[in-house]
Structure 1
Amino acid sequence: MSSSKTRPRSSHDGTDEESPLLDHSRPTTVGTHSLIHQTHSPRIIILLLTTIVFIIGFGIYLVWIPSMRIYEDILCHRYYEELQGRGEVGLSSTIDEARCKGDKVQEELNILTAVLETLKALPGRENLRKREIETGVDDIIGRKPVFALSILGLLLSLLFEVFIMSEWMMLPIRAVWFAPFLQFIGGGEKTASAIFYAIISDVTTQDERANAFLFAACASLSAELIAPTVAAAIMVYSPRISICCGVFVLTSGLLCLITFVPETLHLHASQTQTSTLVPDDSSSEYISDSSSDFNEPLKPKRKSTITRRLSDFYTTSRPLLTLPVLLLLLPSMTRVIGQQSIDLCIRYISTRFSIPLSHASLILSLRALINILLLLIVIPFLSSLLITKFHFSSTHKDLLLARISSLFLILGALTIAISPSLHLTIIGLIIYTLGTGFVSLVRSLITGLVDQKHVARIFAMIAVVETSSALLAGPAVAGLYELGLVWRGEWTGWLGLPFVGLAVVCGVGSVGVWGVKGLGKMSLEKERVVKGAEVGNEEERV
């Protein structure tokens, strides 16, 4: 690239014969020409994001358990209609939930939910696969629009499911399998998660990032703490009322996101000034260089476009493909299968111990309460203790806590798998919950190893691992559970097979944090470079 394209302009430069008529470089700051003032304070942005995550999570949980109960009821009606005839069991009649816990109904429900969860992983997988080869859409139009589109896709997908539920007498219930394809609008949950963590990374420093991630996790857990109890109370009257409330709350969260959250693509947290966002010079230079391509004459498309993109992907990602980064990508696979297994835990408890779904879902509130105490009190206290008393660096502190968390995950999953009683199952769930901070701590570790301009790409790589795992986790968890349903005639403990699989996956994921070495030196070197560049920029401004 010629020097004329990268020559910096002084503030008093005018246009000359060599200057382009249109300046294609993008501003490094985000305009605030909106009806509602949008803050650029990192703390307020984090507070806004976590509040919106709470609202969206609350809406999703209001819908999730009632939807599961409606699916079970629909499949139960279909089963008894085939068994006894439509005259014996009317499609509009009420069937006691206890009669729906048989193997045939549960096997069909298992297939329905497993395929649905697997299909939900496809939009995010496809979107993030493209993002790995090309420049991410959020790097072009910004984080906020992509985040909003992904939530919109989730909302439309949910509305389609509600439509199928309401028309189940005319439409096959498996038509809900088409709902996830609406999540191609925005890329679905995994894309939303990747962009959310990228925004948090934009507005925090390395020392603040782990606590910000944990605080964000607590927002989701607060929704998990309250929403199941509210949903259970509403389900006494009708599960459909709870679903309508959830749709309204989810829509409100999307509107809050669009209205209040600013764009953070070209900003980053200052290392020298607290509570301040400053322009990201490296990001703006990258965009300016990319936009200068508009000055080049148009050329016909080449047949080797895919090859060129793969080559560009390898070139831009080569700094990220280090052994520590690759090892720290392994724990990402535990998040998806862990979430699906814990979601299955509600049906597992309901089926094995003959408890209504609305009551079984209350274990989510217990799990969330323990999680909140863990993330807001226990982990911050241990973090402060390790740094102040034992003089750990932030990187070594996160690594130690991540290793301890991985042990809790494995032990908790095995306890759930072998527990013969409800009480021991709850104890196993509590032990598993003590390791919930594992993924957030690993995210903080891996973010500290890359430059600011690569943060969005590294989170896209994490999301690709998660979505790829989801494509395997759905069938694997469902297959193990169905196998347990078949074998439970010999011993009811076979129903715990999915949690044995969860323990194995958590063991594989823990290899990443137990096998990685040399994180401290890499992190310190990165911090020196960032602080040196920022001090240099301050001196230039003076």
Structure 2
Amino acid sequence: MEPHEDVLREVDETAPLLAQQDPVSSAHFRSGTADPSAGDTTSSDELKSLLYPYAVFFVFALSFVADLGGSMIDTPEVRLLEMAVCRDYYLEHDPSVIGPPPGSYVDEKLCKVNKIQAELAYLRAIKSLLMTVPGLLLTIPYGHLADRIGRKPVAFLGMLGQTMAYFWVILVCYFHQAFPTRLVLLSPAFLVVGGGSRVLSAIMATVIVDVAPEKMRTTIFYLFGAGLLVTDIVAAPFGSWLLSKDVWLPFKFSAPMICLSFPLIFAMPETLMARKKAEDSNGNQPIQNQTLFRPFWRWLGDTKQALRNLQSIVISKKMVLCLTILFLSAFSRMTGVLFIQYTSKLLDWSISTAGYILGVKSLVTLCMLLTLASITQALERRTGVRPLYVDVWVIRSSLVALAVGGIFVAAAKEPVLLITGSMLGSAGNGIVQALQGLLATLADTSSTGQLFAGAAFLELLAQFTGSLTFAALFDAGLRIESPWGFGLPFYIGGILNLLAAALSFTLSAT
């Protein structure tokens, strides 16, 4: 899994994803095992109250388990792919440096050749790019499906697709004598099942919004992000430590953790507002079952209609600015895919050593999110509402921190400046939750799901274009005969964040 493709790493406040509910259905909730007719005697508010702590607990538990397994192999996967590319290189140039099968290890120091690093950057970038394609094509259809048949089935499909993609990479790299390395690029094809991490994170966020009190949502999202960072603080260094022992050891620990996600999905309550069964006297199937077997052309029709709806939603200047800032910040965040590889090459560190910095970055982000959550909660208790200026100023300060941090990382020639820059950049990670809060404030209640589906679509588009762009810049930096050329991707990322920061100062804080 790529660093920005981890399960539930980012959360979008969206519920329903693409709501198309009738007046009757909005009065009922359906649990995973309950009879839908039970809602006839229980009000929607009462059911929300009953489901609220239970559903949120399972969202947190599922996110914790899935992210723990994913974060543990963020750094090891870089080394696994580097060794695969390195092995291919030396099979052609000097087979004597390759160890005996089945492991066929190559000393990591021999893998820092510019040609190997450029090939690795392109391989990871293309893989990251392809990982966004299912989300770009399927976010809206799976959003419809989640609003028709429920959150749990779509969450299950999302987790299943990601798990299959995860094991495909392991299969190709382990049986390297039978499979060429570039077959890892087929792993994103499995994300057609479930739509990928963006759809899965949106489903989890939708569950929260389905049941959480409105005044608690933003705080829950801050705490949700903070909880995931706790797993990063623990899992990333642990994964790096395991990697220092053996390249395969982290995967032996992470695979069972990821598989534990499925029992949690089965135990999670269904929070979708249920429709009454719509069987006619001729015994037609219920609406939910008909939805499961809709022809492909109906999916395309739903997608086209949803895009038309999005065009009519994004009309205010603030919304346009927010979505532009979201795109630029998401695009520049794709430099994070290169961070471990860049650090290892720049400082001549092993990848496992460079991976420890991820734990430091997560700790800084955690402290920032906890601080923002505390400030937000205090202001909401004092005023009764979430002040708009809080989100605006968090967005501004976060973008400045991301820009300065990126430029520091680009200019670094020693560990102190690089770690300082990475910590500054991590202090700006509160922008994700702040943008969610601002968009939620600006959105009409009838179009929240469509707006956030559109925002998720823009983020995927940014990832799609950003991954390959920064890989090309990394390759160009390796070719430039200058001490400043190597940091080219991070210079460009910093400049883009500065541009987004300038745009953020045109947002009204009132």
Q: How many angstroms apart in 2 are the aligned matches of 1:315 and 1:337? A: 25
8 Å contact from structure 2 (residues 32, 270) kept in 1 = no
Partners of 2:325 and 2:503 within 8 A in 1: yes
**What's the counterpart of residue 91 of structure 2?**
81
Q: Does 1:477 align with 2:485?
A: no
Of 164, 172, 187, which residue of structure 1 is paired with 2:195?
A: 187
Residue matched to 2:421: 428
Q: Structure 1 residue 46 and structure 2 residue 56: aligned?
A: yes
User: Does the CA-based 8 Å contact 2:51-2:271 persist in structure 1?
Assistant: no
- Correspondence for 2:131 among 116, 120, 137: 120
State the TM-score, normalizing by the size of structure 1.
0.77
Q: By how many angstroms is 1:509 displaced?
A: 3.5
Among candidates 226, 237, 240, match of residue 248 of structure 2: 240
Structure 2 residue aligned with 1:31: 31
Q: Is the 8 A contact 2:229 2:365 kept in 1?
A: yes
1:100 correspondence with 2:111: yes
Residue number in structure 2 paired with 1:229: 237
Tell me the alpha carbon deviations over residues 477-501 of structure 1, each in whole angstroms, 9 at most, x when there is no partner: 10111111111xx323322111112
**2:447 is the counterpart of 1:457:** no
Residue 354 (structure 1) aligns with = 348
Return the alpha-carbon distance in structure 1 between the equivalents of residues 105 and 303 of structure 2. Answer: 57
Matches of 1:61 and 1:406, distance apart in 2: 25
Long gaps (5+) in structure 1: 1-5, 9-23, 268-283, 295-300, 521-542
One-letter amino acid of the counterpart of residue 175, structure 1: L
Q: Which residue of 2 aligns with 1:375?
A: 369
Q: What does residue 177 of structure 1 align with?
A: 185
Instruction: Count the aligned residue pairs.
Output: 464
**Bigger CA radius of gyration:** 1
1:24-61 deviation digits (Å, cap 9, x = unpaired): 968712135379xx994424433331232121111012
Contact 1:62–1:230 (CA<8 Å) still a contact in 2?
A: yes
CA pair 463-379 structure 1, distance change in 2 beyond 3 A: same
**Residues 201, 455 of structure 1: 8 Å contact kept:** no
- Seen in structure 2, the aligned counterparts of structure 1 residues 142 and 235 have a Cα distance that, compared at 3 Å, is same
3-state SS of the aligned residue for 2:439? helix
Q: Distance in 2 between matches of 1:52 and 1:435?
A: 26
Conserved? CA contact 1:157–1:180, under 8 Å:
yes
Q: Which amino acid aligns with 2:118?
A: E
Change (3 A) 1:389 1:90: closer
Q: Distance in 2 between matches of 1:393 and 1:46?
A: 21
Q: TM-score, normalised by structure 2?
A: 0.82
Rounded Cα–Cα distance in structure 2 between residues aligned with 1:203 and 1:320: 26
Q: CA deviation at 1:224?
A: 1.2
Matches of 1:308 and 1:136, distance apart in 2: 8
Give, in whole Å, the separation in 2 of the partners of 1:72 and 1:7. 52
Secondary structure in structure 1 of the residue aligned to 2:245? coil
Helix, strand or coil: the match of 2:471? helix
Contact 1:228 1:365 in 2 (8 A): yes
Task: Describe the shift of the 1:218–1:50 C-alpha distance in structure 2 as closer, same or farther (beyond 3 A).
Answer: same
**Counterpart in the other structure of 1:16:** none
Map 1:440-455 onto structure 2 (within 5 A).
440-455=433-448
Question: Are residues 1:65 and 2:75 paired?
Answer: yes
Partner secondary structure for residue 494 of structure 1: coil
Cα distance in 1 for partners of 2:49, 2:161 equals 26
2:310–2:451 CA contact under 8 A, matched in 1: no
Structure-2 separation of matches of 1:68 and 1:61: 12
Quote the residue 1:416 is aligned against: 409
Letter in 1 for 2:456: A
Distance in 2, matches of 1:209 and 1:308, equals 29
For residues 387-406 of structure 1, what are the structure 2 equivalents within 5 Å?
393-406=386-399
SS in 2 for 1:330: helix
Q: Pick closer, same or farther for the CA change 1:307–1:143 going to 2, 3 Å.
A: closer
- Alpha carbons of structure 1 residues 139 and 252: separation in structure 2 relative to 1, 3 Å: same
Q: Deviations over 1:412-462 (max 9, x none)?
A: 111111122111011011111111100111101111222444332222111
**Counterpart secondary structure, 1:442:** helix
Distance in 2 (CA, whole Å) between partners of 1:73 and 1:30 is: 49
Deviates more, 1:432-441 or 1:399-408: 399-408
Q: CA deviation at 1:390?
A: 9.5
Alignment of 1:278-427 (within 5 A): 310=304, 313-315=307-309, 318-334=312-328, 336-376=330-370, 378-383=371-376, 393-427=386-420
* Contact kept in structure 2, 1:331 and 1:439, CA below 8 Å: no
Contact kept? 1:125, 1:464, Cα under 8 Å = yes
CA displacement at 1:74 relative to structure 2: 2.0
For residues 454 and 304 of structure 1, do their structure 2 counterparts lie closer, same or farther at Cα, with a shift above 3 Å needed?
closer
Q: CA deviation at 1:310?
A: 3.9
Corresponding letter in the other structure for 2:398? S
Determine what percentage of the aligned residue pairs are the same residue: 21
Unpaired stretches in structure 2, ≥5 consecutive residues: 1-20, 36-47, 280-284, 289-294
Matches of residues 253-268 of structure 1 in structure 2 within 5 Å? 253-259=261-267, 261-266=268-273
